[in-house]
Each structure stands twice: as C-alpha cells, then as structure tokens.
Chain A
Amino acid sequence: MTTPENQKPLNNLFILIALAVVFCLVPLVTQEAYFLHICILALLFGALASSWNLINGYAGIFTFGHQAFFGLGAYGSALMSMRLGLSPWLTMWAAGLMSAALGLVISLPVLRIRSIPHIAIVTLAFAEIVRIVCSNLTDFTRGELGLWGIPPFTSFLLPLVGDVTFDAAHKVAYFYVVILLWLLIVGATYWILRSRFGFGLRAIRDSQIAAESLGVHLTRYKTLVFGFSSFLAGILGAFYAHYVLILTPSSALGIDIMIQIVAMTLIGGIGRLLGPTIGAFILTLGLEWLRGFGEYRMLIYGVLLVLIVMFLPKGLASMRLGFLRRQTTGKIPT
C-alpha cells in the first residue's frame, strides 16, 4: 500500500491549507458576483465530489447514486426551514443527518454485493426512486414546477467583521461558507485517511479478501463510510438549497449531478485527496471559459469521460504528484 497519501501526508496538508488561504484571499481581489458564483459552484462540486471520492476512490465501492443524498439534503433543509420556520443554520445539519440515515439504509443491500456493475445499478435505481418520489409528491415539493421561496441563510453579526448577510447580492458570505464546508470535507477525508480507519478503507479497495484476513471489519467500515459520505453530501445539498433558493427534482436529484461528480473526480484523479477539487475547478472554470460551448456542456462531459478512462485513468493529480515525488525521492528516504 504505497499511496501518496501515506508517503507524504505533510505535503498534502500543506497544499490543503495553502489552497484554503488562497481561496480566502480571493474576495480581497475581486467581489465580482459572477466570478464568485462560479467559484462557489466549483468549491461546492469539489466538496461533493470529494465526499463521493471517499466511498469510490478510497473504499473502492463504485456507487452511482450520490445525487440522492445531495438532493435529499437540499429538499430536506429547504422544507424544514420553510414549513417549520427553523433557521437554515440548524436545518442544514438536520438534513445532513437525514441523508446519513438514508445512506445507512442503502448501504445494507450494497454491503451484500461485490460486483462493481451490480452496485452501480442498485445505487442508480435507488437514486431514481428518490427523484421520482420527490417529483411525484407535488403537494409537498411542487414537483418539477420547482420549490421556491426557500429562505437564504440568516444573517448574523460577526465581531470585528460586522454584519454578515446572505442574499443574491452578497455572494462573499456564501463564498466563505462554502470554503469552510470544502475545508471540512477535504480535511475530514485527510484525517480519516491518516487514521486506522483510513488504512482499513484502502485495504478494502486494494483487496477485500486481504482486508478481511487482516481483520478489517468490512461491514462496519463500509457502513460507516457510506453514512459519513451521505452526511457530507446532505450538508452540501442544504447549502445549495439556501444558495440558489429554488429546487427542482431534476436539478437537485438528477443523474446529471452524478455525471459531473464522476467526470470531476476522474479528471482530477480518483482516490487522490485533492483530485476531485482539481477536477471541479477545471471543469467549472474551463467550461465557463468556453462559454460559447455552454449548450454543449453535457456533450463535452460525455466525450471527456471516454477520453479520461482511456488516456488518463489516474487523473491529473497523479501526474502532478508523480512529478513531485520524482523530485523528492532523492532527498527523503521512505
């Protein structure tokens, strides 16, 4: 087991913190709403793809229904804040727990299956059930007409900084929240990988049989990682709901979200700490840059997926880290 995470933990932590600092400095340079919006989406999807990477990249379980947890978090938090009048700051965590609970339920059949294609089918079918139920319960969710009137995050007073307000015109506050969420998720991934738990996860990915013989409790590990990953996706969904303020089943629960997650993770590097984030920025910024191709976005995603698995199966992060490693192997004995 010689993954880069094992070999150069400090290096990764350093890059992570440096990136967070750089992100925090962005609003000092520009507060242009559209640019911040793109950055918020990139970080949101980077974090979402990272939470999926935890199951797929590290535990090696290819699930195809992550959008269900994201969408459930979004609808859950939106509906709780609307119907119960609770603050989004509270409902966000409650929605995360809802998603986690659902993740634990779906982990039950997944735990019994080892074939990669079967797991993909089960999780996809599950996510489709969630989407269809959501769009059929029109009394509750308004279906495809869209759930609107979702309250934004409540404003608060931060000492030294002043009023922090959340509305369409004030993207800076959202931007800092999403940086925090991103740091929370990638940081948690980092911490998990360094722990005994993370060692067990990667053992599962590399060989289920070997992991079992090493005493890794497969069922418990998979269940935990499923629940945790779903929890993170739920929180991100809640953030999304209180940011865009309108939800439809196809935008919050559609398979397009899953496709973006897969494309971003694969481009950046599956099973790499920062791979999903790198992929999210490349795809989000890159496709915005090619604005003229906006309507061909999904077409490009499709071609990209084929090209990546064919020519760059380990993603861009592997190239970069491979380069760094070559530089450092002479100096640091491992």
Chain B
Amino acid sequence: MSRLELNRVSAFYGDAQALFDIDLVVEPGEIVAIIGSNGAGKTTVLRTISGLVKPREGTLRYDGRDIAAAQPWSVVASGIAHVPEGRRLFREMSVQENLMMGAYHRNNAADGKTDLERVYTLFPRLAERRDQLAGTMSGGEQQMAAIGRALMARPRLLLLDEPSLGLAPKIIETVFDTIREINAEGVGIILVEQSAQLALETAGRAYLMENGRVVKTGSSSDLMTDDAVREAYLGL
C-alpha cells in the first residue's frame, strides 16, 4: 500500500480552480519532488494533503484511509507534518516553545522531552538558541526550527514547501543534508521546490506541475534528461 495516494484531486480557492485532476503517489520512505514555476499549484497540493484546503473532487488516501475531509489537526495526528512556505514559526514564542508546539497533538510531556533532545542533536544550533524568540532568528535558523517543529510531530510523511527559499547556498546545503538524514530514518518526504536542480538531485521521483496540472512525472534522472524540463526549469 502506498503511503499517500491522490487520485484525480481538484481544489478551488473560492470560484477559482487551483488544482485539476491531480494524481500523485508517495511510497513509504521515498523522497518525491514537485517542481514547477510560481503559481503552478505546488503549494496548493501540500495544503490539500494537510487539510488546509479541502478537495472538491477526487480521493486522498493516507495509509489506505480517506483523509480528504479531515481537518488539519487530525491530519497531523495521523502522521503527516507540513513545513509551510516561509517557515511560519510562532514568532513571539521561544524556539523551544515552537518545538513543543510540534508535539502539541500528542499531549505527552515526557515524549516531548525525548524528541526535543533528538531535534537538538540534529540541529545543535537550535539548542544554543532555545530561549530566543523565533521571530528574531536568521532565515536559516528559522528553517531549521521549522523542520525541527515538524519532526516533533513524529511524522511518517513530511511535506516541505520551499525549504531553500531565501537561504544562503551554504545553509541550503546543511538543510538538505538534514532532509536526507531524516529520510534515511524512514520518513517519506514530499519536497516542493522552485529550484528544480536542487529538487531533482534530492528526490528519487518527481512531478512537474504547470497551471494546476501535473504535466510530467518520472524518476528524477529521467526528468533531468528531459529536453523540455532542461530548457524551462534547469536553465540548460
């Protein structure tokens, strides 16, 4: 059984249709990238999976269960954690409070403490800054905290929206190393990236979106050698 399966999913913002007949599959433990230009609907796919947007048509299955109508707070409890675009940390909470919010749905303080240590081991920088207000940190530190907060939810599927946005190349490298590390522990990942190069290097498979539709899909290496993709998205 696939971890996640979207079947002919359509979604709307008001009267404007944002997604058309999206088919997408994530197998346990794989990294899948969604690439495409700005406004192609990549973020909406993630928002639909995590329950912020309700699909109007199609099915959305997670471990075989239909989650199309589920509210975001129950989606995260079932094991999907979403790191939204722009990190969206709780700016006036400390780093540690932000991380603890990631474990909010479990309501188990002891588990929370164990996971906290794990995140601090993964991101030593966050341990140094645990009492700092999240809003006052640098972009890279905020991205680490956002990923850390998602890990606190103990996800089996992680949705990452533009993790490289606004970060210096060196920081991007660190962040993506960590993403691979997390994946190595068996967490499935959907990676939305505007930088197609980076996404295809990281993911095993990828979907290319244009105007709310999936227009191409295949293994990363196939897409990397696809002429149209190379020209439009890799700038080669």
A and B touch in the complex (CB under 8 A): no
